[in-house]
Amino acid sequence: MHKQSRLTTYILVGLALGIFAGYLANTNLAKPTEFADYMSLITTLFLRLIKMIIAPLVFSTLVCGIAKMGDASEVGRIGIKTLGWFFIASVMSLSLGLILVNLFRPGDALLGQMAATTAKSDLVVSGLTLKEFVVHLVPASIVEGMSKNEILQIVIFSLFFGSAAAAVGEKANVMVAALDGVAHVMLKVTGYVMQFAPFAVFAAVSGVIAKSGLGVLSTYGVFMAEFYFGIALLWALLIFIGFLFLKGRIFGLMKELRSPALLAFSTASSEAAYPKTLEGLERFGVRNRLAAFVLPIGYSFNLDGSMMYCTFATVFIAQAYGIEMSLGQQMSMMMVLMLTSKGMAGVPRASLVVIAATLGQFNIPEAGMLLLLGIDHFLDMARSATNVIGNGVATAVVAKWEGELAAPGEVELVKAA
């Protein structure tokens, strides 16, 4: 947590220095666009490092997440209800982000002001017709798919592979453990790559300001305000849906989740709030055996705040580059994000990796995401708190469905269950 705090500080320092350097270049250099072009070399290096980790990270985390759920026959009724709730919540979160970014269109303020970038996508982009999209889903060779960073093909193969590993059971334990080790190694590699983030932020911000001047900064404030408004709407939707099932007890649940949500907000880490979330759910009346089953799955499959941000940020970047996405393309993007957002729990700056993987699929310059990296910590605070609320409500509702939610007067008996 201390390392993450230091990295955030360095990113903010890089942001401040980038603003200063960009201003100097814009006001003192005869050709500030040349300065922006040189800065793009640094962003290109960082983007290639990000893309380098995508394939092994997605494969290992997603396979382990599915395999650890156990065989479908054993997961049974609770697993189906849990995943059904997560699917509906995912669609709701992704759709809300998509609706708001099309309504507010925050990227239009940057139209024509984006610094030129030489960072071309190494991800193969399909024409996104229905036929090409469906054919593109299934890899002819997973090795080829990984070598080309075909994120959709990697996800499809991972789903089959993880499900098969869960069905095999004990014989696959060694392999799953090995992939779990790969996942941890890739998390460490991700940490190494993120050490370059302050330099990438400096380069990206200074390049844009060198070309367009300080006026472009107002876009950041507008973007943050609109995103936080979206987060508030998402909270209201989650609480309303929870009220439909829990009635007045939803307010007691919010009281129990207040502390872990605040912890997640202040640390920008929903994982840091996991113990307190579990403890709060048990105090609310959810029996431990159900909370211990649903909550960990939620941390892999139900990151509501992160998913809303992914659609919001991806279309924002497209708008900034003047790329108009059709309704069909936006629906395809939702499907991509629905899959790529799963199994990424615990990944530092997970949304950055997911967005990077998605941008290339739609021929949107990945350099655009670096403009958000400077304020990503403040956005991540809201995302993390929302993830806690979403998973808390989901666990309580599933417990209610299963008769595993103690009545208010019986809460003290839950610990003995």
Alpha-helical (H) ranges within 121-248 are 130-137, 142-147, 151-168, 173-194, 197-212, 218-246
Separation between Cα atoms, residue 211 and residue 74, nearest integer Å:
59
- Please give the average per-residue pLDDT across 72-84, as a whole number: 69
> How many other C-beta atoms are found inside a 10 Å radius of the C-beta of residue 177?
12
User: Based on the number of CB atoms within 10 Å of its own CB, is 77 exposed (0-12), middle (13-18) or buried (19 or more)?
Assistant: exposed
Q: What pLDDT, on a 0 to 100 scale, did the predictor assign at position 270?
A: 74
Tell me which of 116-130, 136-150, 281-295, 329-343 is least confident: 116-130
Phi and psi at 405, nearest 5°, equal -105, 115
Q: What pLDDT, on a 0 to 100 scale, did the predictor assign at position 71?
A: 54
Name the residue type at position 109: A
Tell me which of 93-102, 224-233, 266-275 is least confident: 266-275
Quote the percentage of the chain above a pLDDT of 90: 19
Separation between Cα atoms, residue 345 and residue 359, nearest integer Å:
20
Asked whether residue 127 carries a pLDDT value surpassing 70, the answer given is no
Q: What pLDDT, on a 0 to 100 scale, did the predictor assign at position 124?
A: 38
Residues 28-47 pLDDT 10s? 888 888 888 888 888 778 87
- Please give the average per-residue pLDDT across 234-258, as a whole number: 94
Q: What pLDDT, on a 0 to 100 scale, did the predictor assign at position 84?
A: 86
| SS3 (DSSP) at 403 | coil
Q: What pLDDT, on a 0 to 100 scale, did the predictor assign at position 241?
A: 94
Q: 345, 370, 375, 374: which is closest to 355 by C-alpha?
A: 370
Asked whether residue 308 carries a pLDDT value surpassing 80, the answer given is yes
Tell me which of 20-29, 144-153, 182-191, 340-349 is least confident: 340-349
Q: What pLDDT, on a 0 to 100 scale, did the predictor assign at position 227?
A: 94
Tell me which of 161-165, 245-249, 345-349, 364-368 is least confident: 345-349
Tell me which of 108-112, 122-126, 400-404 is least confident: 122-126
Average pLDDT of every residue of the chain: 80
Q: What pLDDT, on a 0 to 100 scale, did the predictor assign at position 83?
A: 80
And the tokens for 410? 């019986």
Q: What pLDDT, on a 0 to 100 scale, did the predictor assign at position 73?
A: 56
Q: What pLDDT, on a 0 to 100 scale, did the predictor assign at position 302?
A: 82
Q: What pLDDT, on a 0 to 100 scale, did the predictor assign at position 98?
A: 94
Question: Which of the two residues, 131 and 276, has the higher pLDDT score?
Answer: 276
Length of the chain: 417
Residues 341-388 pLDDT 10s? 665 554 546 677 778 778 877 888 877 777 777 677 678 878 988 999
Instruction: Report if pTM > 0.95.
Output: no
Asked whether residue 117 carries a pLDDT value surpassing 90, the answer given is no
- Please give the average per-residue pLDDT across 107-128, as a whole number: 53
Q: What pLDDT, on a 0 to 100 scale, did the predictor assign at position 97?
A: 94
Angle between helix axes 72-104 and 327-340 (nearest 10 degrees) is: 140
Q: What pLDDT, on a 0 to 100 scale, did the predictor assign at position 402?
A: 83
Q: CB of 61 within 8 A of CB of 276?
A: no
Asked whether residue 232 carries a pLDDT value surpassing 80, the answer given is yes
- Please give the average per-residue pLDDT across 101-112, as a whole number: 86
Asked whether residue 120 carries a pLDDT value surpassing 60, the answer given is no
